[in-house]
Structure 1
């Protein structure tokens, strides 16, 4: 492991050139027209953190792009030790290194787990609205979504555990997906809420898939608690999924970690041919190691910037577009906007694309509870975000 890198100029999240952003090959800026500002997919607009850039350059410089020493199910995961160390240091949880497996990304891992543990027609419970690729994976695999609605509660969002348990029992549902921190609402579940979910899982003998990819992006005083950290019973029935890709903006490197609690599932995974589910690549592993081992200062600076942008969204909407409901997220760089009172004739995503030249994620794609909402990604410079919000406010004003 290299020596940690000090905070340097790469932590200047305000110095963004739109011409540079538009030259990038990523889908966020490529998919939209040159007159449109994108605030949809969860990529950030910032350059790669210096420790990650250095790790990639070092790997390429030594010509180390041959076959790696690992594959998904043969030998130890190259990320088992960095993952378990990070969980212990940040979240006071000590995972089992021998339970760690690798995947290309979190959605792929969810698909593999569903393939190995469920059958077509089975119900999969999860909170809704929810991340569209997860919902699409369930339906395209012939399973059915059992929604547990997240409802407005005070300044945030909450679910009804009694209702969830009744519906789980009634449907004979044996699989629960928990996205925490939640996408798209930004909710960070409390220990009490997680204990309620763990109890439901235990009483109904459920497998739990815990997508915790946004764990590093929780704003104080909110703190992420890994579901599997609550005790040995829930750990033994939970597949914990995470990745450095969201917090460190490296989704294109396709590298995720699964801590597989159920023994039968580990056996099923290990019983497949070594490359059956693909293997993580060298650069993805090196970038993840660098992010987790050396990226702390960069991440701390990022969180300060995102917190300021989160407040910028709140202030701008309250002052100029109060008809848009907004509860600042407890985690993530995503704002879940309630546009139902605007009275637009079209979906909010379509409305803001056509009238404001701003690309948001349409709430309808997030399943039950998403109609009338839109998701805004505020991980950009304050100046670009201000222009996005200004365009949206003007579009709303013109519609009155």
Structure 2
């Protein structure tokens, strides 16, 4: 059975993701009902999961749940109050409101009145993707009017975010996937989170055992393209064998050695700039002209590195850069030597 609805902060709650918000910020992976549920942010896949999760939660409590859908941009006056009013038999009510970011004046006026006095037994889910339209309503909800919660669905843009998303899919299903298989899967659907989510669910549903490289190759081999940054991330993390496999996979997929080296150089330069600085991430990022997340990522990447190993990695990358641009006959060997030095953090040994 779901946890009691009266809990102000369930297991899916986390620190407020919206500046100035006074209501609970709840993870889209662990949604729960409240009189008002604000589902904000541009990532539709996460929003759909959150809204579906609220419905499943309510239906588990009351199989007779009444579900109504309203469009905020094509709204008829009085509809919100009509669908939230108690029914004859007292069933729970779920009202899903789409398009709040382009809501009509009529909807905005009634919604502002509604959150002042939400109907008992009704859960109103407001979907707002982006923009300033409806800001007064959002500000009221975030200030605590109506006893609501917020489920923020921020855009998933970075490779690391997509890896975290896919890893969460398998973790939620209690399904194991090899790290290299996970990265290959994410690379296959780097441009479409909807397709990545569908691919994860297909593997979870179809495959009886663990998800391996062979399984991913069997299902999506024609789409898998390992990016230069996946190779760099794996090598910098010290996973030597996986890094070589990722490198060979990337080259087999048509990756160019020159941008491959450039990806390593970019990450190592950032690590070198951040290394040894103990300033708060935001302050350091401002001073270096970087983003907060870039500083945080570089600090994670620096785990296990020291001045000697970082210097050696930068020198190996500089050598590889010259060699893949014509200073050597075999650019592939140059890449493998660079990856070996970076992943092992030791001088290159040809017998490895």
User: What's the TM-score, normalizing by structure 2?
Assistant: 0.29
Q: Point out the structure with the larger strand share.
A: 1
Q: Could you say which structure has the larger radius of gyration?
A: 2
Q: Point out the structure with the larger helix share.
A: 2
Q: Which has the higher contact order (CA 8 A, sep 6+)?
A: 1
User: What's the TM-score, normalizing by structure 1?
Assistant: 0.26
